[in-house]
Amino acid sequence: MSDAEKRLQVKRSCTRWLSGHGESTMRERLAGLMAMPESEGYPDVYGSGDPVALLERRVAELLGKPAARFVVKGVIAQQAALRTWSDASRIHTVALHPLSHIDSDELGAFERLHPLRAVRLDGGRGFGVAELEAVGEPLGVVTVELPLRNAGFALPDWDDLVAVSHWCRGHGVPLHFDGARLWESAPYYGRPLDEIADLADSLYVSFYKGLNGLAGCALVGSEDFLARATPWLTRHGANVYANYPYALSAIDGLNRYLPRMAAYRDRAESLAHAIAQVRGAGVTTPRTNGFRVFLPGSPDALAGAHLRLAERTGTWLFNRGATTDVPGLTAVEVQVGEATEAIPDDEAARLVADLLDSAEGDR
Amino acid sequence: MSDAEKRLQVKRSCTRWLSGHGESTMRERLAGLMAMPESEGYPDVYGSGDPVALLERRVAELLGKPAARFVVKGVIAQQAALRTWSDASRIHTVALHPLSHIDSDELGAFERLHPLRAVRLDGGRGFGVAELEAVGEPLGVVTVELPLRNAGFALPDWDDLVAVSHWCRGHGVPLHFDGARLWESAPYYGRPLDEIADLADSLYVSFYKGLNGLAGCALVGSEDFLARATPWLTRHGANVYANYPYALSAIDGLNRYLPRMAAYRDRAESLAHAIAQVRGAGVTTPRTNGFRVFLPGSPDALAGAHLRLAERTGTWLFNRGATTDVPGLTAVEVQVGEATEAIPDDEAARLVADLLDSAEGDR
């Protein structure tokens, strides 16, 4: 058994988890989907039919856009979006943040599969109009990830986001939102989803992060945009034969978790505050339900200590961490969900302190 | 409601179907997956874990290859295969039949997303060594679709297939099988799957045709080949978060339908023979469970008459047909499955005659 498999096994043997919505067996998830009224009818055929159409209508309505299309994987939806916009303008440059998922986690797919080139804008934990102004070359499309997960779930201030949108419209450059965690971002802005989505010409929203779906996402925009994106979706392999398990689980997620996103964000604030009191620990300021925790020790040492803690307490705090720019400091993530409710702030802080003591004992 | 939606509604209101394994509601399918012993554990994470690993091991073993990788969509698996082989040889040409699915049904994806160019070999309903010899330029990869569906489910003779394999090995050109219906092809050759697969360096096999899975396929070959294909699978968006509903349904399909493929092929022979006796009807000679039926009339006229027949008899014979090279003759498909068993040959022939009478009445 690999280390990763061992960790996953222990994680699933726990009874409490600091992040997420808990662990379910396949049978439990399938039973949940079966119990939904939306599972009564016949399967979609290549995405045509309910419950996919139902999900698409609901997402389009929530985001105030004319149309939404279910896509099995965000990598597909976003490449189709970038290619569609850049083909329309005949300008094959994509402005993005170098920490964005598209640029850092997909093996350069958009540059390797399409005649696209990145223009990397780095204003620290995001970019704004100043960085766009400084580019000095034509841009085919601008994309903003909300929140920028690899920068500790960073969200731009509302005024800065509006300014980027205005800049793009003023310069005739399409703006695409990578909204993998858009559902989780709205509470920070205190604005409805459609007001946020209105700033962009197209969006991708994910169903399997905060919404706890099985997989999949939606590509959202005008009817014309989606019609032009469709051949690229096809070429990428988006036309999966039956999509209903994913669509059902996404509808369930919209019913169950979307209304709780503001509460999850509030909980992230108090939880981050409590963990920040632990000697040696630091946190990013949560703007969504997610934040980063910085802990002394190497990822290996912390993972080893954490595994023992999880076996001893039945509580899973963090997945394996990553090194940071600061030597000897590791970053782990918290993403508040339903499971987090079972662990009070003070207990979470005590467990983190316990973890650090144990990790220190290893040295 | 569109014509296609209306047809699907009537199809699902029928009680008998000449092709396929019958129509199930979402809830029925989900209940079937839940009842499988393989649904007891926890979900895979990005394809890692059972039942995906179980399925991959079983497919690799059936095909006698070192490794298999579940992929949500064949379009993804096959482009990754073609790119991997052509990158290895630095020769970016793909030899294929112009009727192959890759060339005719995917909007030229492999040429639009990759620096690949087709070399189209047309030897009628397939191609052989003669066509390969005639190319006169270096080939990066040769791909053969088994059976060639758009040519009426045509299968090459065994000796011709062996000769193509030997030619490829002798010339150092990788051979890839598009085995969307490989499960259905083995009975014609009267050889085990691994003996057929041994002719190719890599294969794609589908889970949602004869096996009746929800969706998905496997890419099969050496460990090294799959390792080199993995970055391309990732860039195409193959890393779906949870794959178990598809994997479960594929395992169920291997259990339930793979052992019946020879019987389905035999049935296709007797059924095609019976339908060929109907005045005006013609058939292709079945080599798999599938064959084409040629009927006088336009696709529109036949679809209209067929819809009335289906409503009247509760029996669904054919999906909408396509025009042929012969004016006034339409081609429809039959693919024998579990549902076909409920309709005896002579009754199928009577229903086809009934359909032609009714369509003629429309003129």
Q: Calculate mean pLDDT across residues B134-154.
A: 96
Q: Which of A256, A281, A296 is the last residue of a domain?
A: A256
Q: Which of A256, A274, A305 is the last residue of a domain?
A: A256
* H/E run at residue B166: helix B158-170
pLDDT of residue B363: 58
Q: What is the Cα–Cα distance from B284 to B287, expressed in whole angstroms?
A: 9
Q: What is the Cα–Cα distance from B165 to B100, expressed in whole angstroms?
A: 18
Which residues does B2 contact at the CB level (< 8 Å), separation at least 6?
none
Q: Is A56 exposed, middle or buried (0-12, 13-18, 19+ CB in 10 A)?
A: buried
Q: What is the Cα–Cα distance from B4 to A66, expressed in whole angstroms?
A: 23
Same domain, A293 and A348: yes
| E strands, chain B, in order | 16-17, 67-71, 93-96, 117-120, 141-145, 175-179, 202-206, 217-221, 282-283, 290-296, 315-316, 322-323, 329-335
Q: Enter the tokens of residue A12.
A: 């699933």
| CATH code for the domain of B354 | 3.90.1150.10
pLDDT of residue B123: 74
pLDDT of residue B247: 98
In B216-280, which residue ranges form alpha helices assigned H by DSSP? 223-236, 244-256, 261-276
In angstroms, the separation between the Cα of residue B240 and the nearest Cα of chain A is 6
Q: Which amino acid is present at A211?
A: L
**DSSP-derived pairing of the beta strands B141-145 and B93-96:** parallel
* Contact between chains at A236 and B208 (C-beta distance less than 8 A): no
Q: Running DSSP on this structure, what letter comes out for residue A156?
A: -
Q: What is the Cα–Cα distance from A138 to A119, expressed in whole angstroms?
A: 10
Give the tens place of pLDDT for each residue, A343-360: 999 999 999 999 999 988
| CATH code for the domain of A176 | 3.40.640.10
* Contact between chains at B241 and A107 (C-beta distance less than 8 A): no
Chain A residues close to B236, C-beta within 8 Å: 75-76, 109, 113, 236-237
Same domain, A350 and A248: no
Please identify which residue in the block is written with the tokens 């990759």.
B114
Q: What is the Cα–Cα distance from B351 to B17, expressed in whole angstroms?
A: 12
Give the tens place of pLDDT for each residue, B224-237: 999 999 999 999 99
Q: Running DSSP on this structure, what letter comes out for residue A1?
A: -
pLDDT of residue A360: 84
Give the tens place of pLDDT for each residue, B250-301: 999 999 999 999 999 999 999 999 999 999 999 999 999 999 999 999 999 9
Same domain, A119 and A263: no
Tell me the pLDDT of chain B averaged across its residues.
Answer: 96
Same domain, B194 and B56: yes
Same domain, B79 and B210: yes
* Contact between chains at A242 and B215 (C-beta distance less than 8 A): yes
pLDDT of residue A362: 66
In angstroms, the separation between the Cα of residue B236 and the nearest Cα of chain A is 6
Q: Which amino acid is present at A179?
A: G
Cβ–Cβ under 8 Å, residues A319 and A332: yes
Give the tens place of pLDDT for each residue, B19-75: 999 999 999 999 999 999 999 999 999 999 999 999 999 999 999 999 999 999 999
Total count of domains within chain B: 2
Same domain, B274 and B193: no
Which residues does B241 contact at the CB level (< 8 Å), separation at least 6?
A208, A214, A215, B45, B46
- CB within 8 Å of chain B, chain A residues 61-120: 72-76, 79, 106-109, 112-114
| Nearest beta carbon to residue A215 from set B76, B113, B240 | B240
Q: What is the Cα–Cα distance from B217 to B101, expressed in whole angstroms?
A: 15
Same domain, A170 and A203: yes
| Nearest beta carbon to residue B236 from set A5, A237, A248 | A237
Cβ–Cβ under 8 Å, residues B322 and B300: no
CA-closest candidate to residue A343, choices A23, A22, A24, A9: A22
Q: What is the Cα–Cα distance from A193 to A214, expressed in whole angstroms?
A: 22
Same domain, B242 and B339: no
How many CB contacts within 8 angstroms connect chain A with chain B? 155
Q: What is the Cα–Cα distance from A127 to A208, expressed in whole angstroms?
A: 26
Same domain, A271 and A223: no
State the pLDDT confidence band at B347, using cuts at 50, 70 and 90: very high
| Nearest beta carbon to residue B107 from set A41, A72, A234 | A234
Q: Enter the tokens of residue B97.
A: 């039949």
* Contact between chains at A25 and B40 (C-beta distance less than 8 A): yes
Q: What's the number of CA atoms in the CB half-sphere (13 Å) around residue A58?
A: 18
Low-confidence spans in chain A with pLDDT less than 50? none
Give the tens place of pLDDT for each residue, A279-289: 999 999 999 99
Q: What is the Cα–Cα distance from B267 to B317, expressed in whole angstroms?
A: 15
Same domain, A152 and A264: no
Q: What's the number of CA atoms in the CB half-sphere (13 Å) around residue B131?
A: 19
**DSSP-derived pairing of the beta strands A329-335 and A322-323:** antiparallel
pLDDT of residue B122: 86
- Compute, in degrees rounded to 10, the torsion defined by CA atoms A229, A230, A236, A241: 150
Residues forming beta bridges with residue A351, ordered by sequence position: none
Q: Which of A256, A278, A295 is the last residue of a domain?
A: A256
Q: What is the Cα–Cα distance from B337 to B331, expressed in whole angstroms?
A: 19
Q: What is the Cα–Cα distance from B120 to B143, expressed in whole angstroms?
A: 11
For residue B169, the enclosing domain spans 26-256
Chain A residues close to B244, C-beta within 8 Å: 26
Give the tens place of pLDDT for each residue, B75-133: 999 999 999 999 999 999 999 999 999 999 999 999 999 999 999 998 778 899 999 99
* H/E run at residue B61: helix B52-63
Interface probe with B: pick from A5, A33, A38, A42, most Cβ of B within 10 Å:
A42
Same domain, A142 and A232: yes
Same domain, A235 and A340: no
Residue A191, SS3? coil
- CB within 8 Å of chain B, chain A residues 116-175: none
